[in-house]
Amino acid sequence: MKAMILAAGRGERMRPLTDNLPKPLLKVAGKMLIEYHLEKLKALQITEVVINHAWLGEKIEQALGNGSRYGLNITYSAEPEALETAGGILNALPLLRGVNNEADAFIVINGDIYCDYDFSKLPSSLSNMAHLVLVNNPQHHPEGDFTLTTSGEIEQEGQNKQTFSGIGVYHPDLFKGCQKGKLALAPILRKAMEQHQVTGESYQGVWHDIGTPERLNELDLYLKDRC
């Protein structure tokens, strides 16, 4: 499998920290956020990683290089302006295709989260369009996003909604027929859910969405306490 880390956002809510540094390069417990993902992917023996970028993207390339020091091969999908989640994935699809240009499933991870989730639990192939990891609703997003059914399917509505973690596996056909440009992921997922093409799982462990300087500081303190 290949993996993609989303790193193109401006990080408006993180300002002024992100005025001169992309959010995935912010450090917690002495390590850049994106490095935690890179290390977990390497442990899973996934060595082909695509990173998209827009805001201060050259700093991401300077910081991570070709990925060799992580034991990875990193390629970059540069965007003149952030294309949103689905737009960024669609733009990077040529880089995410498998051996012999096969349309293999791939992992996508938000670059601005921290999670103890074990990536080895993700499916290595899909018979549907997507597989999402859901987490308990954080205080800043109490209404949640989607519902996980007892059969492992994810639906738009229902009781006990949970929050999408920003970790998922996607089949390239999920984006079939989409036009390149700015494109949100949620409407595409909802359409696939209507066709019963999205499965998922619930993760109850540590997960942080680093959306504000305060949350970044909380995570920093949490990780330092664990050392």
- What is the full DSSP assignment across 174-206? GGTTPPSSS--SHHHHHHHHHTT-EEEEEE-S-
pLDDT of residue 97: 80
Distance CA(157)–CA(138), nearest Å, equals 18
Alpha-carbon distance values, 167 to 25, 29, 63 (Å): 18, 22, 23
pLDDT of residue 224: 84
Q: Choose among 66, 91, 95: nearest CA to 80.
A: 91
pLDDT of residue 14: 81
Q: Flag whether pLDDT at 2 surpasses 90.
A: yes
Q: Choose among 40, 50, 93, 49: nearest CA to 72.
A: 49
2-226 carries CATH number 3.40.50.720 = no
Render pLDDT for 143-170 as a digit per residue (tens, 0 to 9).
Answer: 999 999 999 999 998 888 999 999 999 9
